[in-house]
Amino acid sequence: MLALTSIWTTILLAAAVALGPLATDMYLPALPSMGEALSAGPDQVQLTLSLYMAGFALAQLFCGPLADRFGRKPVMITGFLLFFLASVGCALATNVETLMLNRFLQALGGSAGPVLGRAAIRDIYTPRDAARIMAILASIMALAPAIAPTLGGFLLGFFGWPSIFITLGVYGLIMAVVVAFGIPEPMAPANRQSLKLRNLSRNYRHIGTDPSFIGYTLTNAFAFSGLFAFLSGSSFVLIDFLGVAPEHYGLYFACVVAGYISGNLVSVRLGRRLVPDQILLRGLLISVAGGVAMAGLAMLKVHNVWAVMIPQAVVMMGVGMTLPQTMAGALANFPTMAGSASALFGFGQMALAACVGALVGHFYAGTSLVMASVIAACSVAALATYLLLVQRYPAPGFEPAEVAK
């Protein structure tokens, strides 16, 4: 077993959290091809992505409290095994309805990795250290969306779209083994919570009415929804509208991931001299600049790949600075119920993202305008939430006054 504070433990937790982006990003190049194979329209195929996010959101409400009661490891292992079985079901689907059902089940299992990976970081580190570690974790985890679309395009071209889900299933099975034998249980026995409905209700009420938690969660949810709007619409915009070959989609997507990684690295560097809320504001302003630029170019009918990719890379740089700070800030007040707090945080993030993704799919009209407008709106909403809530109720240790102490 590795030491909890070992860099290898952080890498393994990053691999667990990466299951979420892998399950969404790897099959993005295949969405148009899957629609043809399953006789489904763009809105139906896109719905498999939104249903995954909806299942992901709902499952977190249950796996968080279960992990607060039984520990992080048993719930993660069970989730990864369910993810494996549902991935096989996706690969065997012969119609879009069966694919939707298995994507939903895949989400139920896959949610354990991200929600409990965040909780484990909070178990191990103080709130301010957790923000720095989450930024490092996010940088490592960003390899997943950098590689996933390219790998998905390769698998699609050589083996067909079912091979993408077989690959995801194998990854889930490997992670179950790694968590079982490689990572110690991070949760202290003294912090275990009761599963009684009254206690769960009290815990969620306590977490959900905390103004600091609300501020960071909503800011994160809007920022993440802007990213998800891109995930939802980019394959149709780039492949169908702008003529990018499916096998090249991952190469363009890597530009976006490079923006995200640079934001993570800037966040880590700035963390040595700024508190997390100061980094958060800078990230939000960068995201707004990128989102507004993309929407403006779309309105001016500047239709080329780089009019989408360069502004989105800027958006992602801001998101890379934003997400680690909001994750750590939302969990800062709840050291003894980090699993439940992470679950409610993830539910808010994924529920809003699922709605935004469905919105992009429903109103997609064959150009980049809808996707770009939604990304810009989400960036502006994230900044507004920060100004109205987070600045008034910063997490302990996040406010600038801490620097002077």
Residue 388 corresponds to which tokens in the numbers above? 């109205």
pLDDT at residue 404, as a whole number: 36
Q: Kindly report, residue by residue over 40-93, the tens digit of the pLDDT.
A: 887 788 888 888 888 888 887 888 778 778 878 888 899 999 999 999 999 999
**Residue 313: which residues within 8 A CB-CB, separation 6 or more?**
255, 256, 258, 259, 290
> How many residues belong to the chain?
405
Question: Rounded to two decimals, what is the model's pTM?
Answer: 0.73
Domain boundaries, the chain: 7-181+195-395
Of the listed ranges 130-144, 204-218, 242-256, the least confidently predicted one is 130-144
Query: Which of 155-159, 211-215, 288-292, 335-339 has the least mean pLDDT?
Result: 335-339
Task: Answer with the residue of higher pLDDT: 21 or 313.
Answer: 313
Looking at residue 246, its amino acid is P
pLDDT at 4: 62
Residue entry with tokens 């957790």:
130
Average of per-residue pLDDT across 238-246: 88
Q: Which of 61, 68, 100, 63 is nearest to 78 (CA)?
A: 63
Paired tokens of 210 = 């905390």
CATH superfamily for 7-181+195-395 is MFS general substrate transporter like domains (1.20.1250.20)
Q: What Å distances lie between residue 180 and 107, 127, 155, CA to CA?
A: 20, 26, 29
Is the alpha carbon torsion for 49, 55, 61, 66 positive or negative?
negative
- Is residue 268 predicted with pLDDT exceeding 90? no
127 band by pLDDT with thresholds 50, 70 and 90:
low
Q: Is the separation of the CB atoms in 194 and 321 below 8 Å?
A: no
pLDDT for the residue 368: 93
